[in-house]
């Protein structure tokens, strides 16, 4: 089943050590990117969290936000590392002098370096609390995936409907194609007859001109390839693996065949079908951008 790349999931874990709340959201992206925002106490597990998420979600921009409330924790007073702050100030002043600028080194510049502050909350967490973190992350990702699957089901239904429209339109083109040659022959015969008497009409030359036209406007190969691509489209919709990028490439191939049909088939009725085919393909292509 195909999955959307957009979704939201949340999970919360309560334990004797406190509560962990994880929110996960994802949006469309050409590749797979994972961004994680953790409380300082969970910094050592950042790579493990990213790996857990990327193994589950293969495509999209995924953002994970983790909040931590420790049981019995008080709000510790912030302390300032004065020597470190002075060091930053002196370094910035030296940089200003080296660059030869007149800019003043201000307090706000020094305050950008957050490490000059400390809240005294750097004690390591119990190992079991780290396990709670991963459990909460998995729960949030589970809920995110459920939403992506639900949206994927809606997209799948839309694709099936639009695929049927494509098949109907291309069948109309295929049905119309032989008639184009017949009508061309009749119109050419009429034009020649208006210029020449029936006795001088060269049926052989007429047949030759019609054959040349039929060869130039032959779209049999394009029709076969288009229908073959539709079969690939069906196969991809049934795949369990992410197929968003494959579907995107397939839309390009389908559009290429339609463009060729439009340029070769010298017929107003086929041209109208080509316009409808392009419009439908564009609608599908826009939706494909949402697929994992």
**pLDDT for 203-214, tens place per residue?**
666 566 656 655
Task: Give the model's pLDDT for residue 76.
Answer: 58
Report residue 18's pLDDT band, with 50, 70 and 90 as the boundaries: confident
Q: How large is the average pLDDT for residues 132-146?
A: 96
Highest CATH level, class, for 7-75+125-150: alpha beta
Q: Is the pLDDT of residue 195 over 60?
A: no
What residue spans in the chain does CATH classification 3.30.230 cover? 7-75+125-150
Output 8 or 83, whichever has higher pLDDT.
Answer: 8
Concatenate the DSSP letters of all residues of the chain into one string: ---BS-EEEEEEEEETTEEEEEEEEEE--SSEEEEEE--GGGGGGHHHHHHHHHHH--SEEEEEEEEEEETT---PPPEE-HHHHHHHHHHHHHHHHHHT--PPP-HHHHHT-GGGEE-S--PPPPHHHHHHHHHHHHHHHHHHHHHHHHHHHHHHHHHHHHHHHHHHHHHHHHHHHHHHHHHHHHHHHHHHHHHS-GGG--HHHHHHHHHHHHHHT--HHHHHHHHHHHHHHHHHHT-SS--HHHHHHHHHHHHHHHHHHHHH---HHHHHHHHHHHHHHHHHHHHHTTB-
% residues pLDDT > 90 (the chain): 56
Q: How far apart are CA 281 and CA 251, in angstroms?
A: 7
Report residue 258's pLDDT band, with 50, 70 and 90 as the boundaries: very high
Task: Give the model's pLDDT for residue 69.
Answer: 87
What is the pLDDT of the chain when averaged over all its residues? 86
Output 281 or 185, whichever has higher pLDDT.
Answer: 281
Task: Give the model's pLDDT for residue 207.
Answer: 64
Report residue 150's pLDDT band, with 50, 70 and 90 as the boundaries: very high
Out of 83-87, 106-110, 152-156, 198-202, least confident range: 198-202
Q: How large is the average pLDDT for residues 235-253?
A: 92
Q: How large is the average pLDDT for residues 238-253?
A: 92
Output 37 or 186, whichever has higher pLDDT.
Answer: 37
Task: Give the model's pLDDT for residue 246.
Answer: 93
Q: How far apart are CA 220 and CA 155, in angstroms?
A: 31
Comparing CA positions, the residue from 46, 39, 45, 44 lying closest to residue 121 is 39
Output 70 or 146, whichever has higher pLDDT.
Answer: 146
Task: Give the model's pLDDT for residue 16.
Answer: 78
């Amino acid at each position: 089943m195909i999955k959307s790349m957009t979704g939201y999931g949340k999970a919360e874990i309560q334990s004797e050590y406190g509560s962990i709340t994880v929110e996960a959201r994802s949006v469309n992206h050409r590749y797979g990117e994972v961004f994680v925002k953790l409380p300082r106490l969970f910094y050592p597990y950042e790579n493990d969290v990213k790996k857990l998420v990327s193994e589950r979600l293969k495509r999209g921009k995924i953002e994970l936000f983790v909040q931590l409330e420790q049981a019995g924790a008080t709000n510790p007073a912030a302390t300032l590392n004065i020597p470190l702050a002075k060091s930053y100030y002196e370094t910035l002043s030296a940089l200003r002098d080296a660059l030869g600028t007149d800019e003043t080194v201000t307090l706000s510049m020094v305050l950008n370096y957050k490490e000059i502050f400390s809240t005294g909350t750097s004690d390591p967490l119990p190992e079991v609390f780290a396990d709670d973190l991963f459990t909460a992350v998995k729960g949030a990702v589970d809920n995110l995936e459920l939403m992506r699957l639900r949206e994927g089901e809606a997209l799948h239904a839309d694709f099936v409907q639009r695929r049927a429209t494509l098949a109907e339109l291309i069948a109309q083109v295929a049905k119309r194609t032989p008639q184009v040659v017949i009508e061309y022959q009749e119109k050419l015969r009429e034009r020649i007859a208006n210029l020449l008497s029936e006795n001088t009409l060269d049926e052989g030359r007429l047949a030759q001109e019609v054959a040349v036209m039929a060869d130039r406007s032959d779209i049999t190969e394009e029709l076969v390839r288009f229908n073959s691509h539709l079969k690939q489209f069906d196969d991809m919709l049934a795949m369990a693996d992410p197929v968003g990028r494959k579907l995107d490439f397939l839309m390009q191939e389908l559009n290429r065949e339609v463009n060729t049909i439009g340029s070769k088939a010298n017929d107003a009725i086929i041209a109208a079908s080509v316009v409808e085919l392009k419009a439908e393909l564009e609608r599908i292509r826009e939706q494909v951008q949402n697929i994992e």
